[in-house]
Structure 1
Amino acid sequence: MKIHFLGGAGTVTGSKTLIESENLNVLIDCGMFQGVKELRLRNREPLGFDASKIDFVLLTHGHLDHCGWLPKLVEQGFKGKIFCTAPTKEIAKLILLDSAKIQEEEAQKANEEFYSKHHPALPLYTVHDAEQVFPLLRVVDKDVPVVLSEDFSFSFFYASHILGACSISVQVEGKILVFSGDIGQDDDVLLYPTVKPKVADYVFLESTYGNRLHTNSNPLFDLEILINNTFQRGGNVVIPSFAVERVQTVMYLLWQLKLQDRIPDIPYIIDTPMGVNVLQVFQENRSWHKLNFEQCEQMCGMFTIISDFRDTIETIYDKHPKVVIAASGMVTGGRVLSYLERYLGDANNLVALVGYQAEGTRGQKLLEGATEIKMYGKMIAVKAAVHLIDGLSAHGDQNDLLNWLSEIEHNPKKVFLVHGEPEAAQTLKSKIVEKYNVDCDVPFLGEVVEI
């Protein structure tokens, strides 16, 4: 059979891996590219494989870089079923609608303010396009084998990372292929530890933090100090965060600090159109996380949740100190841009980054100390403090990734490292070869291998 690395190879975005077997063509994830312009432009190109000949899609989870290209896949002719867990189905629907709405709004703004070289600027896809995906989504429980054909079956197993996220074990043509998806940390405050695979002939392992170890810093202490110091300056704290799971993790930590009277009595705001709906998904899928109904209710009661953009504008111009959590986590779009456009130029304010920042994203540029960043076609001076709160990433670090391989009964024939920048993947490759003495490869974008 052939494996096509159509995305998420040599980069942490655009995850798409196609299994071309004798009888079926099955796509693992269908993510949108983010970050540097060269990658973003790929979102507007054909897939590299006839979409109408893909029989099924298996989704590991609902983040944009794993499901965000589904509307384009459907537009290019895909008509099959998309299998996922129950939380992933709901989250993917929210993510796709939010993505489409943001693209429509940004295209409209670019056309009104004439800062795009395209006339007119067009969204990658619309809300209507996103909605064409929904009838194709099919829910599958984790740990339940699903037979797609005589020689092709799969099952999901728990991966932590975000609500509903799973790795996938595929049995095809007498071989077992295991796709990690994104793997979470074993000590996540909200989610349970990852389940490790027991049998695999070929492994496709993410490598986001393949060259990094999470620090032993205390996120609670970091948040406490940063919020209190910013409050004393009369400033605002802006926390760019993915609307799914990272927002809930930060909410949980802030709630714990508030219960202990360690942070001031100021407004704590969640500004995302998805906010209310994502919290509803948490309430309806409590077997996937550690919080009970009462804890969810108490935590949410601490926050003001904004969905209407008019409330966003009112909040931005409110001069009182506040803490705002807004998407997106890598500052690639969304409501957080409106806050940063106003707040970055004030040294009293703080931007607290709480997750991985991919190459070429505004988040990465802020983290690297950029003195100005481009938003809405203009350069914005960066005078606000920028701080990374380590330990809150939804991704496991190098040790977590190595340990994820530790329970496989016999060495796989090969491990393919995907979803990582080149340096991270190459470093992890060396560690895997050293620890397990297994053949390991880092595929390039567009590569096709036979197994």
Structure 2
Amino acid sequence: MKVKFIGGAGTVTGSKTLIESNGIRILIDCGQFQGIKSLRELNWEPLPILPSTIDFVLLTHGHMDHCGWLPRLVDQGFKGKIYCTSPTKDIAKLILLDSAKIQEEEAFKANKEHYSKHEIAEPLYDIKQAEAVFPLFRVIKTNEKIPLDAEISAVFTNAGHIIGACSITLVLENKTLVFSGDIGRDNDILMYPPTKPKKGNYIFLESTYGNRLHPETDAKAELEMYINNTVEKGGTIIIPSFAVERAQTIMYLLWQLKTEDKIPNIPYIIDTPMGIRVLDIFENNRKWHKLSEQEYVGMCKMFTMNADYEETIETIYNPEPKVVIAASGMITGGRVLSYLERYIGLPETTVIIIGYQAEGTRGRKLLEGAKEIKFYGKYYEVKATILEIEGLSAHGDQQDLLNWLSELENIPNAFGTQKVFLVHGENEAFEELSHKINEKYGFDCVIPQMNQEFEL
């Protein structure tokens, strides 16, 4: 049996882990690379193996960095089954269609305004290619054994990260492989705590916050203070947000603050068509989250929901103070760029960054104090106040990741001990988490490099 890391190794994006056993090939996740240009360019490269030779894709969840390369995979010949939970299927559909639409629009704009370095700018994939993925989805139930082959089975268990997110346990060749996916927090506002694995010869563990602890601060109180301070200045609050999970968490916190009369009676707008559609997924999948019917209805009533771009333009040119939640979370694209184009240069504006910002993204640059920011081929001076609320990340921190390993039984493998492969992180996170795991549990940790292959 072999494992090959063809994404999500040495970086937090592009998750793709290939397992090969007795002629069967299984791809865990099929994510798109985001962030710095050298990573984004990998999206245009072919896989080191033919997609037509892959039998199954197992999706841990529907975020872009875990499912966003599926249209390329299918376009290049993959015809197998894509297993995932029902909410993950719904979210992946939304994300892939939204991604394709944005790429088509940006390619059109680049060609029209001639700011692409290429003679003809092309989307990574278009809407038709995204839609070609959908017939291959197969919905599974959590905690039930799924037979993939005569001697290969998989079980999906709740990972807590976003609605529908799972860890995956794969049993083959008398060995147990556990893929964490992205691990949520033990005390998340909306999601239930992740299920801890009991057995595993080989563990593939995400390390996004492997070197960080979330602060013990009160995110709700921070939100209250930032909004009130900005409104006093007559400014607008822009919250770039991931359309799945974080947008709904922010909506819930704002609804609580408004109910408690702690924030002013100004327009509260959610301007991410995908984020609005994700609300339907929340309503249809109540067992996956903590929101009651009453909370859900009250929260939705508070917000103006911009679906059409005409509504976005109207909101942008409305001079009164307002709070706008707009995608994307790392400011890599989407409607938030239209808001920042007008508001980033105004000193009374506040931009609140929530969630992880990958290396090379505009969100990371703003957090690092960038004086100007580039989008649509132009540079814009940053005069807005840039703030961060760290306590709202959907990723577990170092302690959550260590806790997730706490119920593992000791099962020696071919190496004589359990092995933990650290993926989906950056170098400092890998190093520190590796040390902590070894110190606490005695597990050997391996930090694989891109395209590195191991025999198990």
TM bin, normalised by shorter chain, reads over 0.9
Residue 432 of structure 1, aligned match among 434, 437, 454 = 437
Query: When the two structures are superposed, what TM-score results if normalisation uses the length of structure 2?
Result: 0.98
SS in structure 2 of the partner of residue 181 of structure 1 = coil
Aligned equivalents of 1:289, 1:350: Cα separation in 2: 30
Gaps of 5+ in 1: none
Residue matched to 1:208: 208
1:180-208 Cα offsets, whole Å, 9 max, x none, are: 00000111111111110000000000000
**Paired residues of 1:51 and 1:76 also in contact (CA < 8 A):** yes
- Following superposition of structure 1 onto structure 2, how do residues 325-364 of structure 1 map, counting pairs within 5 Å? 325-364=325-364
1:99-141 Cα offsets, whole Å, 9 max, x none, are: 0011011111111111101121000000111000000001001
Aligned equivalents of 1:23, 1:447: Cα separation in 2: 19
Aligned equivalents of 2:442, 2:46: Cα separation in 1: 38
The letter for the 2-side match of 1:254 is L
Is 1:447 the equivalent of 2:430? Answer: no
The letter for the 2-side match of 1:197 is P
1:378-431 Cα offsets, whole Å, 9 max, x none, are: 111101000010110000000000111000011562000000011111110011
**Paired residues of 1:275 and 1:307 also in contact (CA < 8 A):** no
SS in structure 2 of the partner of residue 274 of structure 1 = helix
Residue matched to 2:263: 263
Aligned equivalents of 1:40, 1:313: Cα separation in 2: 29
SS in structure 2 of the partner of residue 391 of structure 1 = helix
1:56-78 Cα offsets, whole Å, 9 max, x none, are: 00000000000000000001100
**Paired residues of 1:216 and 1:391 also in contact (CA < 8 A):** yes
**Paired residues of 1:60 and 1:168 also in contact (CA < 8 A):** yes
Aligned equivalents of 2:374, 2:12: Cα separation in 1: 22
Query: When the two structures are superposed, what TM-score results if normalisation uses the length of structure 1?
Result: 0.99
Aligned equivalents of 1:237, 1:48: Cα separation in 2: 44
Aligned equivalents of 1:182, 1:318: Cα separation in 2: 38
Residue matched to 2:229: 229
Report the Cα offset of residue 276 of structure 1: 2.8
Report the Cα offset of residue 14 of structure 1: 0.3
Report the Cα offset of residue 291 of structure 1: 1.0
**Paired residues of 1:275 and 1:305 also in contact (CA < 8 A):** no
Aligned equivalents of 2:426, 2:341: Cα separation in 1: 29
Aligned length: 451
Aligned equivalents of 1:273, 1:47: Cα separation in 2: 32
**Paired residues of 1:330 and 1:364 also in contact (CA < 8 A):** yes
The letter for the 2-side match of 1:310 is E
- Following superposition of structure 1 onto structure 2, how do residues 122-271 of structure 1 map, counting pairs within 5 Å? 122-271=122-271
Gaps of 5+ in 2: 412-416
1:74-99 Cα offsets, whole Å, 9 max, x none, are: 01100001000010000000000000
Residue matched to 2:424: 419
SS in structure 1 of the partner of residue 116 of structure 2 = coil
The letter for the 1-side match of 2:430 is A
1:333-380 Cα offsets, whole Å, 9 max, x none, are: 111011111110001000001100000000000000000011111111
Report the Cα offset of residue 23 of structure 1: 3.1
Report the Cα offset of residue 275 of structure 1: 2.8
Report the Cα offset of residue 441 of structure 1: 0.6
- Following superposition of structure 1 onto structure 2, how do residues 30-179 of structure 1 map, counting pairs within 5 Å? 30-179=30-179
The letter for the 2-side match of 1:372 is E
Of 17-26 and 65-74, deviating more is 17-26
Q: Percent identity?
A: 64
Aligned equivalents of 1:176, 1:23: Cα separation in 2: 18
Aligned equivalents of 1:382, 1:112: Cα separation in 2: 26
When the two chains are superposed, the root-mean-square deviation of aligned CA atoms in Å is: 0.7
The letter for the 1-side match of 2:262 is R
SS in structure 1 of the partner of residue 392 of structure 2 = coil
Report the Cα offset of residue 163 of structure 1: 0.2
Report the Cα offset of residue 444 of structure 1: 0.5
